[in-house]
Amino acid sequence: MDFSRVTVLCLGDLMLDRFIYGAMERISPEAPVPVLRLTRTREMAGGVGNVANNIRSLGGRAILLGLTGDDAPGHALRQLLAETARIENRATVSATRPTTCKTRFIAANQQVIRADEESLTPLTTPELAALREAALQALPEAQAVIVSDYGKGVCHPDILSVVIDAARQRGTPVFVDPKSLDFTRYHGATCITPNARELGQAAGFPTETLDAVEQAARFLMAQAGADAILATRSERGMALVEGAAPIRAVPSRAREVFDVSGAGDTVIATMALAHAAGSSLEQAMHIANAAAGVVVGKLGTATADIQEVTAELEAQLDTTADGVAPVDCPLLDREGASALAERWRAQGLRIGFANGCFDLLHPGHIALLTQARAACDRLIVALNTDASVQRLKGPSRPVNPLADRAAVIGALRHVDAVTAFDEDTPLALIQRLLPDVLVKGADYTRDQVVGADVVEAHGGRVLLATLTPGRSTTAMLTRAGR
């Protein structure tokens, strides 16, 4: 991953994050409260400033737009940004509005209290005009826009409507971390990234299950005219709802969590960088999930660098080293499957490929996949889309839609990745992935296997798996009277 050529315009509420560390060793004689003996203080850019810090840490360049006061916290914040490479601070300085400052008191690696200094009064007309003009001037330099709304006034509808419309006219993707429950103020965004609680509150729906997340996301996408919603689900990982595609989810990796401060900033920064660098939103979700996993293992408002994210991605792959795929095994698009295959290939792993409808799972399927996985290190299963199944099997098929078939296949311990193809044959997908082992049932002969010549030309082989007699979806449906 190389984000060095990506510039992201970061617009939102800028603040100073102050961390005061100490030790609690006694109770005050003045009141029944602990006494914190201070040892050190650390200051850093917070809010949209932390988004910019994540952009910088991951190797990109950030143009930072927000509002600071003409006060001591504002001076400290501007000094910090001036000393930070790859962040260009173009924040407006207000003569009357204080700088938002969040002071966290920390003892024994735990935050014990937070004190906020801020103004919740609306921005003035000149302040709004200055921010709007600065955003429009910076937009031609950016390959992506991030709107980081902390509810402090900068993300005013008059600013957002102009900036989002101008970005979309240029073909520049816009990512929004929302604070308002009224998603219409983010109208036209490419991707909105609420957490599950925010998603449920904005939609008025529960969001405990993936089905509920999808229902809430589609409701809000229609309201906001957004292309996609990425819902972060804490220890459950993330879920992406994009266009008419089925919901795609990625689980989090089990870890010790020290602090979730700033994790949302890391997610949106990584999503914007990865997508601007050429990744699909689904691929970007996987990278963002890894980045979030890094920062929650750190204390305080943290960032992740590209080496840490790469290592985390590899660690997530290693959790399937015994062939056990996550229950929420995502349905990869062609680009995602190709990128995963390239990563495995770079590790010297043998890649297997099997394809089919896999409509009603039966022992014959299990036998084929068992043999396939035994012949390789990683197994990719490609499913016919619903339209492809109908062309091959007739209008009454499939019994189960693609999303359901992918969920079932992806939960099998033999399967490491699931993708799909809409053509009548998987030839184009095989040409893209170039597996080392191509698997079909023994009811085929070598010359009947689509893609056999392609695989063998690249040094691979064809495996004709032994079939289980009398086991087929068609036979099952016949017995069921269909």
Cα(343)–Cα(346) distance, integer angstroms:
5
For 29-73, give the DSSP string: SSSSSEEEEEEEEEEEEEEHHHHHHHHHHTT-EEEEE-EEESSHH
451 phi-psi bin (left φ>0, alpha ψ -120 to 50, beta other): left
- The whole-angstrom separation of Cα 45 and Cα 30 is 35
Q: Are strands 100-107 and 110-117 parallel, antiparallel or unpaired?
A: antiparallel
Give the E-state strand segments of 157-260 in sequence order: 174-177, 191-192, 228-232, 238-242, 248-250
Contact indicator for 17, 301 with CB cutoff of 8 Å = yes
Residues that constitute the known binding site for ATP: 195-198
Map tokens 């069921």 to a residue.
480
Give me the DSSP letters along 107-156. ETTEEEEEEEE---SPPPHHHHHHHHHHHHHHGGG-SEEEEE--SSSSS-
Q: Which two tokens stand for residue 435?
A: 């597996």
| Separation CA 389–CA 292 (nearest Å) | 38
Tokens linked to 301: 């408002």
Helices (H), 296-396: 306-318, 334-346, 363-374, 386-393
Where is the binding site, in residues?
Answer: 195-198
Which token pair is 304?
């992740």
Strand ranges (E), 178-257: 191-192, 228-232, 238-242, 248-250
- Distance, CA of 272 to CA of 269 (rounded, Å): 5
Three-state DSSP class for residue 199: helix
Cβ proximity of 360 and 473 under 8 Å: yes
179: exposed, middle or buried (Cβ count in 10 Å: 0-12, 13-18, 19+): middle
Side chain identity at residue 186, one-letter code? Y
Cα 105 from Cα 4, distance rounded (Å): 35
Question: Residue 240 forms beta bridges with which residues?
Answer: 230, 248
Q: Which residue numbers are catalytic?
A: 265
C-alpha triplet 385, 390, 396: angle, nearest 5°: 125
Count H helices, E strands: the chain?
16, 21
